[in-house]
Amino acid sequence: MAQTITMQRILLTAFCFVSLAAAAQSDHSHRMERSLKFPDIPGYNTLKCDFHEHTVFSDGSVWPDIRVMEALMDGLDAISLTEHLEYQPHKQDIPHPDRNRSYEIALQEAKDHDLIIVRGSEITRKMPPGHCNAIFIQDANKMLITDSVAVFREAKNQGGFVFWNHPNWIAQRPDGMATLTDFHRFLIKEKLLDGIEVANAETYSDEALQIGLDNNLTLMGTSDIHKLIDWDHDVPHGGHRPITLVFSKQKTADAIKEGLINRRTVVSYKDLLIGRDEFLLPLLQASVQIVSAKYEGKSNVLAVELENLTSATFTLFNKTGYTFHDHGDVVTIAPGGKTTLMVKTISRLESVALKFQVMNAVNAPHSHPDMVISGKVGQ
Ligand SMILES: [Zn+2]
Ligand SMILES: [Zn+2]
């Protein structure tokens, strides 16, 4: 009897998986493959990084090897398992005397793969300063320091890069407003704080972006994943985790750290791309390109096919000065998708330059940059 029920359950479970897989394929056949895509920019590799993740070695639910496998499925270049130093809720079941174990297990799992594992820890304090990640450190055990300033100095002595986590976290900021305190000003003045999360898990913060811009901090976006990436970021339906795109001279840990120190990042959060113009604009330029532009028959309406080379849906607001024959003034292009615009150029052109405001990009709170997409008109 027990066996029959078990068999029925297995069959039912198998059926559900097959149905889900079939539904995912039919509903989202236009979707890009799972691996996240963002093009390189002139002079730099665009590396996809998630520097804030948890496992059972702090308050996460999975073993470190699962984080490596998720990162490989998402096509990431680098991750860091940043276990809480001060919060160890599983320690009765999983004693954790060596705070470097999570990193070492991930490193072993990743050794045959093209994935960089960065050693890190989450300094977990009340606000202020709240939680901060120290990555590129040498020994997490030496970070077990009670004094709130001394722990930052130790991170820096180890060559660490330190960023402020979820400054908008409801548990520490009930109004959701990231707010700079005197303690943070002190850390910044002493060069003990290098970056700030503008996107964490399921949240984005305009206020954190403004703090980052005002204080010359590196803009960061992370998953802060505790359970499974697929569940929390709706991967089966086309979602993806927040990541930091680091513009790096090489694909090495040292080159990534150099890129972070020099603030060469853009944050990808859902469809939003968040960054300083210096790196955001070249990324946008590389992301949407003209595939073809041509007039047909006697028509003076130019058919321009645009392609989106990224994993973000692009939403473009028309500032060309032309009107379109088949669209209003808002044009969306799906991740990895193509869209043809019928542009009423009045007379025939030899080359075309289309100006758009990129509504899915922000270079400051409430500010969406413009871009010009240009190309030759063919036959
Ligand atoms: Zn935290
Ligand atoms: Zn965390």
Is pTM beyond 0.85? Reply is: yes
Q: What is the pLDDT of residues 40-56, one digit of tens each?
A: 999 999 999 999 999 99
Distance 166 CA to ligand 1 centre (A): 7
The pLDDT assigned to 60 comes to 98
Token digits for 69? Answer: 């496998």
The pLDDT confidence band at residue 8, using thresholds 50, 70 and 90, is: very low
Q: What is the DSSP letter of 259?
A: H
Closest by CA to 191, choosing from 222, 215, 174, is 215
How many angstroms separate the alpha carbon of residue 370 from the centre of ligand 2? 34
Cβ 262 vs Cβ 44: under 8 Å:
no
Ligand nearest to the CA of 129: 1
CA of 82 to the centre of ligand 2 (A): 7
Structure confidence at residue 32 (pLDDT): 58
Give me the pLDDT at residue 119, please: 98
124: CA distance to ligand 1 center in Å? 6
Strands ordered across the beta sheet of 288-295: 288-295, 301-308, 338-344
Tell how far the Cα of 80 is from the centroid of ligand 2, in angstroms. Answer: 11
Would the pLDDT of 379 be above 80? Answer: no
Tell me the average pLDDT across 115-129. Answer: 98
| Alpha carbon distance 154, 13 (integer Å) | 50
14: pLDDT strictly greater than 80: no
Ligand 2 geometric centre to CA of 123 (Å): 9
| Cβ burial 56-79 (10 Å sphere, 16+ → b, else e) | bbbbbebbbebbbebbbebbbbbb
Q: Average pLDDT of the chain?
A: 93
- Which residues 6+ apart lie within 8 Å of 270 measured at CB? 204, 239, 240, 242, 312
Flag whether pLDDT at 4 surpasses 60: no
* 87 Cα: distance to centroid of ligand 2 (angstroms): 10
State pLDDT tens for residues 21-43.
Answer: 444 444 444 455 899 999 999 99
Q: Is the pLDDT of residue 89 over 50?
A: yes
pLDDT surpassing 60 at residue 18: no
Q: How far is the CA of 122 from the centre of ligand 2 (A)?
A: 6
Residue 11 pLDDT greater than 80, yes or no = no
Ligand nearest to the CA of 201: 2
Give the ligand whose atoms come closest to the C-alpha of residue 60. Answer: 2
Please tell me the distance between residue 48's alpha carbon and the centre of ligand 1 in angstroms: 21
pLDDT of residue 33: 83
| pLDDT score recorded for residue 28 | 43
Which ligand ends up closest to the CA of 58?
2
What local confidence, expressed as pLDDT, does residue 26 receive? 41
CB 124 within 8 A of CB 130: no
Ligand 1 centre distance from Cα of residue 340 (Å) = 44
Query: What's the pLDDT at 15?
Result: 41
Sign of CA dihedral 106, 112, 115, 116: positive
Q: What is the pLDDT of residues 238-297, one digit of tens each?
A: 999 999 999 999 999 999 999 999 999 999 999 999 999 999 999 999 999 999 999 999
| pLDDT digit string, tens, across residues 337-354 | 999 999 999 999 999 999
Rounded-to-integer distance, Cα 52 and Cα 197, Å: 10
- β-partners of residue 339 are 306
Q: What is the pLDDT of residues 171-198, one digit of tens each?
A: 999 999 999 999 999 999 999 999 999 9
Ligand 1 centre distance from Cα of residue 169 (Å)? 8
Nearest listed ligand to the Cα of residue 132: 1
